Amino acid sequence: MAQDDPRTLVSTEWLAQHLKDPDLRIIDASWYLPGDGRDPKAEYDSAHIPGARFFDIDEIADLRSDLPHMVPPVEKFMSRMRAMGVGDGHQVVVYDGAGLFSAARVWWLFRLMGQDNVAVLDGGFPKWQAEGRPVEDLPPVIRDRHMTVRRQNHMVRDVTQVSSASKLGDHEIIDARAPARFRGEAPEPRPGLRAGHIPGSKNVHFATLLNEDGTMKAPDDLRAVFASAGVDLDKPAITTCGSGVTAAVLSLAMERFGKSDHSLYDGSWTEWGMFPTVPVATGEA
């Protein structure tokens, strides 16, 4: 049973107790890899937690970039949140349809935008449904609310910064992809990318941080997973993955055990793997 913390992770029990709170805003941030064959918006339309708004990770993004779902400009984030009725003074709870997968990305995005009162629903929609809790298929009633954004630039990294960290070894670069992709043995889901990992990075597959029911492991167990992967937790961390989604699961896990000096490489392997001038390592870390 997770320790409820409205800034990181809350249980289905906590959300059920607070469902009627006037300042609670629930966000369905479901997103799937192209090969999964799932349509998150259609699933949301057919059933979601009462009052939930749908957050389109691919649209609330910087569409000027060739890379998928990069961090949106501040103005765009603010206008989309206003349209969703999410703003100052709200407690936000983010969930997804996979358990604990893409919700962490939106949690991280809120944190990047200076919003602290945001938590991920532990175990997500699958756990909520398995417990027979209420769902609805109605769109929520939206009232505009302004959001004050103070972007926390230290929480995001670009390819130049990550390349420097890789060379200097002054950060731990932690890759959330599956081990076979990290080692360069399995093909990338996106065509045209080289196989392998950022030189000097360590591999903590995001799934190793979760229990079988999709909930996150206890803080001490999370810390042990990072330690067993050879991560030096005294160094600041940069999380990375395929396209910046599951990297945020690592960020959330570190926040759970009290490590706050972490940033996320937004372009992740989608950028690094196609960037001709940066080196690629293969095999074990």
CB 54 within 8 A of CB 86: no
CB 274 within 8 A of CB 194: yes
Name the catalytic one among 156, 165, 241, 249.
Answer: 241
CB 101 within 8 A of CB 94: no
- Distance between CA 201 and CA 171 in Å, rounded? 9
Q: In angstroms, what is the C-alpha Rg of the chain?
A: 18
How many CB atoms sit inside 10 A of residue 43's CB?
16
**135, 218, 223 from 285: Cα distances, Å:** 44, 25, 18
The two structure tokens encoding residue 58: 């691919």
- Residue 34 DSSP code: G
**4, 190, 250, 259, 284 from 254: Cα distances, Å:** 16, 28, 6, 5, 22
Task: Give residue 206's Cα distance to chain centre.
Answer: 10
The yes-or-no answer on residue 241 being catalytic is yes
- Distance between CA 9 and CA 251 in Å, rounded? 12
How many CB atoms sit inside 10 A of residue 168's CB?
9
3-class secondary-structure state, position 74: helix
Query: What are the residue numbers of the active site?
Result: 241
